[in-house]
């Protein structure tokens, strides 16, 4: 647990659930389905349908897939490497040593800097008092 008793990933789970829920809500509208009719097709209660469309991250994947299927969507769960493997070979490390050797002394080097939402990273980031 982290600050406020929230588990790591809670914010990301909420954002993902809200995104999927919004797509489900839009698809329901495109098919001109009422919430009650869509929930009946999904085999869930209207309250569960509402929670899914609102982005409740506590809804099971099975339920979310049923809700999506009821409005013509295929809900797909994908994973992306969250923390990439460390620098793996002496070639990469050698290049980084060269870069750090020619960088201004006021710049601080950080290895494997995150550069995206899906685990992307750059091998080295140089940070200093001025942005380039």
* 81 assigned to some structural domain: no
Better-predicted residue by pLDDT, 49 or 110 = 49
What's 47's domain CATH number? 1.10.260.40
How far apart are the C-alpha atoms of 51 and 39, rounded to whole Å? Answer: 11
Is residue 94 a contact partner of residue 105, using CB atoms and an 8 Å limit? no
Examine the domain organization and report whether 57 and 105 are in the same domain. Answer: no
How far apart are the C-alpha atoms of 129 and 74, rounded to whole Å? Answer: 48
The mean pLDDT of 79-94, rounded to a whole number, is 67
Burial class of residue 109 (count of CB atoms within 10 Å of its CB; 0-12, 13-18, 19+): middle
Q: Return the structure tokens found at 41.
A: 């097709």
How far apart are the C-alpha atoms of 10 and 15, rounded to whole Å? Answer: 9
Confidence of residue 87 (pLDDT cuts 50, 70, 90): low
Q: Could you list the residue range(s) of the whole structural domain that residue 113 is in? A: 90-127
Predicted local confidence at residue 2, as pLDDT:
47
Predicted local confidence at residue 86, as pLDDT:
60
**pLDDT tens digits for range 20-38:** 999 999 999 999 999 999 9
Domain total in the chain = 2
* 49 assigned to some structural domain: yes
Rg (CA), the chain: 22
Average pLDDT, rounded, for the chain: 86
How far apart are the C-alpha atoms of 18 and 36, rounded to whole Å? Answer: 20
Examine the domain organization and report whether 17 and 50 are in the same domain. Answer: yes
* 95 assigned to some structural domain: yes
* 103 assigned to some structural domain: yes
């Amino acid at each position: 647990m982290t600050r406020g008793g929230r588990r790591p990933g809670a914010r990301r789970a909420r954002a993902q659930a809200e995104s999927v829920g919004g797509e489900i809500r839009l698809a329901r509208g495109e098919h001109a389905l009422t919430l009650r009719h869509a929930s009946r097709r999904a085999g869930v209660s209207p309250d569960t349908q509402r929670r899914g469309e609102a982005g409740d991250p506590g809804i099971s994947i099975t339920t979310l897939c049923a809700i999506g299927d009821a409005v013509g969507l295929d809900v797909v769960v994908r994973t992306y490497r969250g923390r990439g493997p460390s620098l793996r070979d002496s070639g990469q490390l050698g290049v980084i040593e060269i870069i750090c050797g020619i960088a201004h002394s006021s710049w601080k080097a950080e290895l494997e800097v995150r550069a995206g939402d899906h685990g992307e990273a750059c091998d080295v980031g140089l940070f200093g008092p001025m942005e380039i």
